[in-house]
């Protein structure tokens, strides 16, 4: 499949919306029928993808990283060195700061399993190789789940049957790995899924056919990895304007057939018409 130039192939890149967002790194689809994003200045945005409108409904103290929602409409997001929780009214509370012995350094992206456990990558510091993955139980108890991937673990997603946690590892070398999850919820040995040379992989999302989508902070590209292991460039913007450091991605809309990417380098959300539907996320009731 040829590279899709988002400036020319309008059948794949419908366009952008939400102009005026403050350098959003994250985007996710909520259980309540809205998309959500966060801003560099701590803004929390609720997005109506049908009407292409957004509102800021709350304000965090720090830059907002990845986020996800539970089945009760609460939003969980990484900000500063903690994970926070906010309800639909925008009331924010701390959810986790790590363990008493090992505080979080740079929590980056959260993802729920079906039982309500929240996996959180702590990327650590850039090129310091001090990343890890925490796991927060539904009761709020936090533990270090894995320290096997230390070179800036970034975006994550679970496989369709919950047997593996897929991790975008941004550095040394850039790659996608997956960690088996055993029957007790403990991690196995990581397995390399695909190497991503000359890139900085950031966000991950599966579609319903088992294709894995990989968004990259650098270059301004989204890749697609099919179940046979074939990696292709889905979309690329050499100018870095419509796509500008596409960090997190999410399948949104009632049919999960709208692929959205946040653009850390600019002020909008990009929308792609790729004729695929996303794998539904987990929305446990906490």
All domains of the chain, ordered by start, with CATH? 13-272 (2.120.10.30)
Cβ–Cβ under 8 Å, residues 109 and 156: yes
Return the exposure string of 106-133: e unless at least 16 CB atoms fall within 10 Å of the residue's CB, then b. Answer: bbbbbbbbeebbbbbbbbbeeeeeebbb
- CA nearest 244: which of 80, 81, 16, 74? 16
Cβ–Cβ under 8 Å, residues 234 and 273: no
Instruction: Dig out the tokens for 232 from the structure.
Output: 């292709």
Give the per-residue pLDDT at 52: 87
The pTM assigned to this predicted structure is 0.95
- Helix extents (H) in the chain: none
Give the per-residue pLDDT at 87: 97
- CA nearest 202: which of 225, 219, 184, 178? 219
Rounded CA gap, 271 and 104, in Å? Answer: 32
Half-sphere exposure of 11 (CA within 13 A, CB side): 3
Cβ–Cβ under 8 Å, residues 47 and 36: yes
Cβ–Cβ under 8 Å, residues 64 and 42: yes
- Taking only Cα atoms into account, the Rg of the chain, rounded to an integer number of angstroms, comes to 17
**DSSP 8-state symbol, 19:** T
pLDDT average per 10 residues of sequence, the chain (286 residues): 38 63 96 97 96 94 97 98 97 98 98 98 97 97 98 98 98 98 98 97 98 97 96 91 94 95 95 93 96
């Amino acid at each position: 499949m040829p590279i899709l130039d988002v400036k020319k192939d309008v059948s794949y890149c419908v366009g952008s919306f939400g102009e005026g967002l403050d350098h959003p790194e994250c985007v996710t689809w909520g259980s309540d029928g809205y998309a959500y994003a966060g801003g560099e200045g701590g803004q929390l945005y609720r997005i109506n993808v049908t009407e292409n409108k957004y509102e800021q409904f709350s304000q965090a103290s720090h830059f907002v990283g990845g986020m996800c929602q539970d089945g009760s409409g609460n939003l969980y997001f990484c900000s500063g060195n903690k994970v926070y929780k906010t309800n639909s009214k925008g009331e924010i509370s701390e959810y986790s700061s790590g363990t008493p012995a090992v505080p979080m350094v740079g929590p980056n992206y959260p993802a729920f399993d079906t039982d309500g456990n929240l996996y959180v990558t702590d990327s650590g510091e850039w090129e310091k190789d001090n990343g890890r993955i925490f796991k927060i139980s539904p009761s709020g108890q936090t533990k270090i789940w894995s320290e096997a991937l230390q070179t800036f673990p970034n975006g994550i997603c679970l496989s369709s049957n919950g047997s593996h946690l897929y991790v975008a590892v941004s550095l040394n070398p850039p790659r996608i790995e997956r960690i088996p999850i055993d029957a007790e919820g403990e991690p196995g040995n990581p397995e390399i899924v695909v190497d991503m040379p000359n890139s900085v992989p950031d966000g991950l999302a599966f579609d319903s056919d088992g294709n894995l989508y990989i968004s990259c902070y650098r270059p301004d590209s989204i890749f697609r990895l099919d179940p046979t292991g074939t990696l292709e460039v889905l979309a690329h913007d050499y100018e870095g304007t419509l796509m500008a450091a596409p960090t997190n991605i999410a399948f949104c809309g009632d049919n999960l057939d709208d692929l959205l990417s946040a653009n850390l380098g600019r002020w909008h959300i990009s929308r792609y018409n790729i004729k695929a539907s996303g794998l539904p996320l987990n929305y446990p009731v906490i």
